């Protein structure tokens, strides 16, 4: 069992602090996504794990072995048994697909069998003699994966491997890669800025923000219980309202709602309340329900996003996600209701800035 543990890792480039103390444990056999906006330091973290970059402080451990303690102990990347799949694959352009995959294999007797096996694993059996430029982006990506898996790595690192693929291809390549990694049973770390990708693929998601891990959890935990409003916004759309928490209920402009989670004082208090777009239901304006006007309607086929302006004073424009149905004209009057309990955070003191 080789868990990867990262402890207190910092890294700066000149005056710029990229990582400011990252702690992260990736359990053996899991699929962990590191999610962060561009410039959040996620690629730097990955490169430190791979051994391409050294941390200023902190420690990286692979199982019981320290591979980098930021001082004297350093295992160079060629001895770490970490497979690396960079963006756009980075296949060796002068080598055939078969030779690319075989690159890290020794001169063993069953080298050819191993290559065939790996190519079959990624669904590219007939492609051994092709060259990288004869492959599509998705195929290149799968060859890069096969090449990384050839050395039977303890961990596979995926650095935004799907970013360069077009949207239609991305979903299918993502699925293929996930299947291959599950089959191979390796520990995998995916770096991405795409929250859909992180939520759909990973067992565990770490959100990297301002050089630290802001939250770590399963996709459901992150989406359902973000630790602050900023994380809520980052992991999908959300409506953030003001409210007053008392006795497990919060009073907002949308009425009295059940609170799922409250980290504030037990007696209650002023709060920020998150309502996900799919938690709001639209209906005919009925008595006792909140009324609103449709501001815009975006149709996506499987669902639609409606922006509504509530009639009540002091409520912001709300984002509502509805499944199918007939398009709503702007100006149309409708009724709103909130489904299920909501997440509330204690409101920041003073000028309404969210705490870190």
Partner 1 sequence: MSAAGGVRRHHAGRRPLPRLLTCAAALVSLVVLLPLAFLVVQAVQVGWAQLHALLFRSLTATLIWNTVSLVLVVTALCAVLGTTAAWFVERTDLPYRRLFAILVVIPLGIPDFVVSFGWRAIFPGIGGFWAAVLVMTLAVYPLVFLPVAASLRSADPAQEEVARSLGLGRLRTFWTVTVGQARLAIFGGCILVGLVVLAEFGAFEILGYQTLTTEIYNEFQVGFNQPAACALSLILVLLGAMLLAGEGSVRGRGRTSRVGAGAASRARPARLGRGSPLVLAAMVFLVVLAMGVPVGAIVYLIVQGGNSTLPPASLFAATADTFGYSVAAGVVATLAALPIALLSVRFSRRRVMALESSNMLVLAVPGLVIALSFTYVTEHFLEGRFYQTSPLLVLTYSIMFFPLAIVAVRAAVTRSPVGLEEVANSLGVRRRSVLWRVTLPLIGSGLAAAFALVFLETATELTATLVLHPTNVQTLATQFWAYESNVSYSQAAPYAGVMVLIAAVPGYILGRWFDRQPERGAMAGGPAAAPAPGTLVAA
Cβ atoms of 127 and 135 within 8 Å: the answer is: yes
- Candidates 20, 28, 61, 81: give the one binding partner 1 (CB under 8 A): 81
Pairing, β 204-209 against β 31-35:
parallel
Of the candidate spans 47-55, 224-232, 279-287, 309-317, the one that interacts with partner 1 by CB under 8 A turns out to be 47-55
Residue closest to 249 by CA, chosen among 274, 277, 224, 268: 268
- Candidates 132, 226, 229, 277: give the one binding partner 1 (CB under 8 A): 132
**Residue given tokens 């451990």 in the structure block:** 61
Residues 155-214 that bind partner 1 (CB under 8 A): 164
Under the binding rule (CB under 8 A), the answer on residue 91 touching partner 1 is: yes
Under the binding rule (CB under 8 A), the answer on residue 89 touching partner 1 is: yes
Roughly how many angstroms between the first and final C-alpha of the chain, as a whole number?
A: 35
Of the candidate spans 73-81, 187-195, 242-250, 333-341, the one that interacts with partner 1 by CB under 8 A turns out to be 73-81
- Candidates 137, 236, 253, 335: give the one binding partner 1 (CB under 8 A): 137
Under the binding rule (CB under 8 A), the answer on residue 302 touching partner 1 is: no
Under the binding rule (CB under 8 A), the answer on residue 246 touching partner 1 is: no
To the nearest whole angstrom, how small is the minimum distance from the Cβ of residue 119 to partner 1? 16
Q: What is the DSSP string of 192-249?
A: ES-HHHHHHH-SEEEEEETTEEEEEE-HHHHHHS-SSHHHHHHTS--EEEEEEEETTE
- Candidates 37, 39, 52, 256: give the one binding partner 1 (CB under 8 A): 52
Q: What is the DSSP string of 113-134?
A: HHHHHHHHHTT-GGGTT--GGG
Under the binding rule (CB under 8 A), the answer on residue 98 touching partner 1 is: no
Of the candidate spans 72-80, 110-118, 181-189, 231-239, the one that interacts with partner 1 by CB under 8 A turns out to be 72-80
CA distances from 147 to 5, 260, 265, 345 (A): 25, 46, 53, 46
To the nearest whole angstrom, how small is the minimum distance from the Cβ of residue 122 to partner 1? 16
């Amino acid at each position: 069992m080789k868990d990867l543990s990262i402890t207190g890792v910092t890294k700066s480039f000149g005056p710029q602090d990229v990582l400011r103390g990252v702690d992260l444990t990736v359990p053996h056999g899991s699929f962990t996504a590191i999610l962060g906006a561009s410039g959040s330091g996620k690629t730097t973290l990955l490169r430190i794990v791979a051994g391409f970059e050294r941390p200023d402080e902190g420690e990286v451990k692979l199982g019981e072995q320290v591979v980098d303690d930021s001082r004297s102990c350093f295992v160079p990347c060629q001895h770490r048994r970490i497979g690396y799949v960079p963006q756009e694959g980075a296949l060796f352009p002068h080598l055939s697909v078969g030779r690319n995959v075989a690159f890290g294999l020794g001169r063993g007797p069953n080298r050819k069998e191993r290559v065939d096996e790996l190519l079959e694993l990624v669904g590219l059996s007939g492609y051994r003699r092709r060259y990288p430029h004869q492959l599509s982006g998705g195929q290149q990506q799968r060859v890069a994966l096969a090449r990384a898996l050839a050395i039977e790595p303890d961990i596979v690192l995926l650095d935004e491997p799907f970013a360069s693929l077009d949207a239609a291809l991305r979903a299918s390549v993502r699925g293929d890669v996930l299947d291959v990694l599950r089959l191979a049973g390796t520990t995998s770390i995916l770096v991405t800025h795409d929250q859909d990708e992180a939520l759909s693929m990973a067992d565990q998601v770490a959100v990297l923000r301002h050089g630290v891990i802001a939250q770590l959890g399963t996709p459901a935990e992150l989406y359902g219980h973000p630790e602050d409003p900023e994380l809520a916004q980052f992991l999908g759309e959300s409506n953030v309202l003001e409210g007053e928490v008392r006795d497990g209920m919060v009073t907002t402009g949308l009425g009295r709602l059940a609170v799922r989670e409250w980290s504030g004082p037990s007696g209650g208090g002023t709060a920020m309340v998150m309502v996900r777009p799919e938690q709001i239901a639209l209906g005919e304006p009925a008595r006792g329900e909140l009324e609103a006007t449709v501001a815009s309607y975006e149709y996506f086929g499987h669902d639609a996003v409606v922006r509504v302006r509530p009639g009540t004073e002091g409520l912001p424009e709300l984002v509502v996600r509805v499944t199918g149905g007939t398009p709503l004209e702007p100006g149309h009057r409708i009724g709103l209701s909130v489904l299920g309990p909501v997440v509330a955070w204690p409101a920041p003191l003073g000028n309404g800035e969210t705490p870190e």
